[in-house]
Amino acid sequence: MKFPKPIAVKELAELTKSEIIGSNTAAVTGLNEIHNVESGDITFVDHEKYYDFTLKSNASFIIINKKMDAPEGKTLLFNSNPFLAYNFLAEKFKPSVKSNKNVDETAIIGERSFVYPNAFIGAHVKLGKNCIIYPNATIYNYCELGDNVIVHANTTIGSDAFYYKRQATGYDKMHSAGRVVIADDVEIGAGCTIDGGVSSDTFIGKGTKLDSQVHIGHDVRIGEHCIIAAQVGIAGNSRIGNWVTLYGKVAVNKNIEIGDKAVVMATTAVPKSLEGGKTYIGYPAVEARTFAKQVALIKMLPDIWEKVKKL
């Protein structure tokens, strides 16, 4: 999430009651969780396991719960609870907006686009030309859809990220300050759920088609002309290349990449990144040729066992 204009780090430190370590005159240009930070962004870290990763990231400003010297080019904000401090900033600069109309008055609806009765279009939504939004579809605040996008009934676009911080008393919810951005010529089936980004964008590329009952997690980026069949689930912050095919009930883990033109067969579990241009199957996913060899060997095991018993 980028701020409308740079904000002095001193101001953010005062808002979060944090102690500045490093330059107190620098300006912050945006707010992002660690997987999507850019130069000028502020992020947070609250676990020693991730200190090094965060301190070496592109973030220029880091809210941290340990006093230490600021690395060159970075400013630290010491705070006993970085998650709450970060969440406070996310809510302040991207507050929730409520609407009591089916199509909010701030939404922009493109020429020749049609919104069926009982669909909901939230505040500051941008809908391109020639789109169709079927009944009971819901598009949350700030989302953007390109031209020729079709959203079928009962689909939800822009729901909150499934992102919680475990505390001694339960779970604190991360305020979702991101959006969903959908490019031209995308079709989304019935009953799909697409989460908005934590602080950046969940993105679906041009020409991609989603079957019914697909779930896309927060900050996922899907390339162009992908085919995603029913009941596929893609966990947060994963990257899907161009011309990728995911058949029914494929499960994709968080923070991984699937390369261009990969094909993943039905019910496959994808726990780690996959190279493009290959076909995968299995639990966990392996190349289809490797899987076929494994199955052939398994079929031979009874005969091998009988021979072993006779030795």
| Structure tokens, 172 | 């604190």
Q: Which two tokens stand for residue 256?
A: 């991984």
Q: Is-contact 187 169, C-beta < 8 A?
A: no
Active site residues: 218
- Among 144, 149, 138, residue whose Cα is nearest residue 113: 149
**Among 139, 252, 239, 271, which Cα is nearest to 196's?**
139
Cβ-based neighbour number of residue 203 at 10 Å: 20
Residues 6+ apart with CB under 8 A from 59: 32, 34, 37, 41, 42, 43, 74
Nearest to 200 by CA among 176, 174, 169: 176
**How does DSSP classify residue 17?**
T
